Amino acid sequence: MKKKNLSYVYLLLLIFAIGILGFTTVSGVAAAEPNITSDDQSSVMNMKIMGVSVLKNGDPVSTIVYDGEGGWDKTETTTLFGSDASLKVGETIDASITIANGIDNEDEKINVYTRVIIYKYWMEDNEKDFSADPAKIHVALKNISGTVNSDLGWNMAGNDEDAAGTWLLDSQTNEKIILYYDSLLEAGDVSAELMKGLEIDGSIKNDYKTEYLDDGKTIIGYDYLYNGKSIKIEVELDAVQDHSAEKAIKAAWGRNVTVNDGKLSLND
């Protein structure tokens, strides 16, 4: 009798587990197919795809598009600054950076929320140079909500009055800054400008080794520590579906956010 009761318990547990499993699977599929609605059954057969781009001066630099078959097509059209870019003290490199949702095929794209992580650091001999100071790379940002720290090399280049959205400052170090875009990027949308350009801190000329003539007084030249090094800039674009955005962002990026009337805000 006791053994029989135990079997009933196992059976009930089994039904319960199968029920939970079935429910979870259904909700998972719904999340993966965010644009499927009962009024648009064709979407079930032709799932809308995700595709986003990083733009420089309005032109795509790097694009990724879901191929509809479980893979992603990534296209890196060019680099941010060209193959032989150089910079001197006192010069500014203009690079207007925006992002876009599927500008090449707007009918097929799902709406997305986005964040951008900008990395800046030094390279020497094609390897990361940890001895050089990333704060000496000054990146000019635009349309930011939050206080950027110029001591870390992040500067404000102002906000556009008619900006399509605002970049919410999440965190910053001298090497990277994380920005969340507060507005939904619908298919075909281009974001507000987030970066305008960059320059190097003139103080890099204060870091030099000297060579002396025999008299010990006259310097025959300066061997600058930063001469010949390279600046590396990376603009990483992350995008997530707009459906169940708060949960999706938490799952994908581990960040608690609130989406209210389409506007994203960062939770404390």
Partner 1 sequence: MKNKLLMLVLIFLLLLVSVPSAWSYFFTYTKATGTITINLLDDSDIDECVVDNVKEVTVTAKPNSDPVFIRVRVFKASDVAVSYQGDGWILNGDYYYYNIPIDGVDGDPFADNTTINFTVTMSSEAEYADDETRHVAVVYEGTPALFTTVQPTSGTYWTQKDGDTVIGYWYANWEKTLTQPAVGGEN
List the interface residues with partner 1, window 61-80 (CB under 8 A): 61-64, 66, 72, 74, 76, 79-80
If binding is defined by CB under 8 A, does position 21 make contact with partner 1? yes
**Given CA atoms 85, 159, 250, 264 in this order, what sign does their dihedral have?**
negative
Question: Which is nearer to partner 1, 78 or 147 (by Cβ)?
Answer: 78
Residue among 90, 107, 261, 267 that touches partner 1 (CB under 8 A): 90
Q: Answer whether 231's CB lies under 8 Å from 89's CB.
A: no
Q: Of 88, 131, 214, 268, which lies in the binding site for partner 1, with binding defined by CB under 8 A?
A: 88
Looking at residue 254, its amino acid is G
Residue with smaller CB distance to partner 1, 143 or 241: 241
Which CB atom, from 45 or from 213, has the smaller least distance to partner 1?
213
Size of the site for partner 1 (CB under 8 A): 85
Length reported for the chain? 268
Give, rounded to a whole angstrom, the gap between the first and last alpha carbons of the chain.
56
| Residue choice 101, 241, 257, 266 for contact with partner 1 (CB under 8 A) | 241
- Which residues inside 100-129 make contact with partner 1, applying CB under 8 A? 110, 123
Helix (H, G, I), strand (E, B) or coil at 164: coil
Q: Between residue 177 and residue 236, which ones bind partner 1 under the rule CB under 8 A?
A: 198, 200-206, 210, 213, 218-222, 224, 226-236
Tokens at 172, concatenated:
């910053």
Q: How far is the CB of 167 from partner 1 (least distance, A)?
A: 16
- Alpha-carbon distance of 154 to 168, in angstroms, equals 14
Alpha-carbon distance of 208 to 226, in angstroms, equals 8
* 91 touching partner 1, by CB under 8 A: yes
If one asks whether residue 163 binds partner 1 (CB under 8 A), the answer comes out as: no
- Residue 263 within binding range of partner 1, rule CB under 8 A: no
Contacts of 61 (CB under 8 A, 6+ apart): 53, 54, 55, 76, 77, 78, 79, 80, 235
